[in-house]
Structure 1
Amino acid sequence: MTGTHEQFACPVPWCAGYVWDHGGDGLSGPEDWMHSSERKPLGGLLWAVRGAVGSGPEFWSVYVGGDENAVGTEVPDPEQLALTLERAAQRLREVARPAASCAGD
């Protein structure tokens, strides 16, 4: 059995080439390979990963949390990822304002 962090030279230029995601389970053919980039840190516990399944469309996933308990969502491109994060930041500011004003009471 192949280790989950073992890598090879995947032909997709941005792919990290993790063997386990590229048929290392012995069951998946190239059409099912999960291409994923190395993590792109976004600050704090936020990070993003570029991905694609086989020759399908690329997508970006953003995650919050550590390795074992990360929670993520997918968006189709980096611009959409940026918009999603901007909206989340704006909403967090809106939610935090009332809490900040109560803290001074």
Structure 2
Amino acid sequence: MEPVSPYAERVLDLVERIPPGRVMAYGDIADYLGEGGPRQVGRVMSTWGGGVPWWRVVHADGTPAPGHERRSLAHWHDEGTPLRGERVDMRLARWDGGSPSANFQESG
């Protein structure tokens, strides 16, 4: 396995801070860090994300990483993550990287 880059360390540190019951989208993480993009965050998570709460990182539509649907759903139920069917309710569960109760502002 390749060594963890400083960027990957920043991604993983942020993922470890996401509170139980909350999520961030791949793009949210890149935006918060001010570098990379959703694909770069996805690569970090696929390579080194096994040691952090990976189920708290989702696609912008609230769906989990492919192949991890059942395990993600079990974690979400255990943590009381707001759901809409079998995906995260992003309006209620999205975390902005601030306080555990802070949400992103809805635009529109």
TM-score of the aligned structures, taking structure 1 as reference length: 0.26
Q: Which has the higher contact order (CA 8 A, sep 6+)?
A: 2
Structure number having the greater helix percentage: 2
Structure number having the greater strand percentage: 1
Query: Higher Cα Rg: structure 1 or 2?
Result: 1
